Amino acid sequence: YGFQMIGVTTLLTVLLDAGLEPFATRVAHYWFWNPVKLKFGWYTAPGVNFLAWAATTLLILAFATPALINKQPARGSAPDYSPLLVWLLFMLLFATGAAGHQLWPAFGLTCAISITVAGVALRGARW
């Protein structure tokens, strides 16, 4: 169960960054990316950025999970939707920023990611 949660958390972190990058670079201008030689990128963010997010998440969770997280799923308790709600609100911010600046591919991807994650989370909460 612990390794599954680490994998899901890493995936969600990379997906959150996919929504964050267009917002941070084109909408809010928090940072910019210099051009790189590799052509793979997402709104000027190089592909290695997403690998770095995944590696950083895995490294943090490798130390935090054994010490801080109960690795057995709770049985019989009601599901807690507050982390999902916070995650979806972040994605809503990124999607509205992308739509407001007519970044339609970023808007579409952010909405698709959000709908998919919400559907899987709500379905998984009922298992």
Reported confidence tier of residue 126, pLDDT bands at 50, 70, 90: low
Per-residue pLDDT tens for 8-34? Answer: 999 999 999 999 999 999 999 999 999
CA 18 to chain centre: 7
CB atoms within 10 A of CB 35: 9
The range of the structural domain enclosing residue 33 comes to 2-125
Crossing angle between the packed helical segments 104-125 and 82-100, to the nearest 10 degrees: 170
Tell me: the pLDDT tens digits for 66-82? 777 766 666 777 888 99
Backbone phi, then psi, for 45, in 5-degree steps?
A: -80, 125
pLDDT of residue 27: 95
| Count of domains observed in the chain | 1
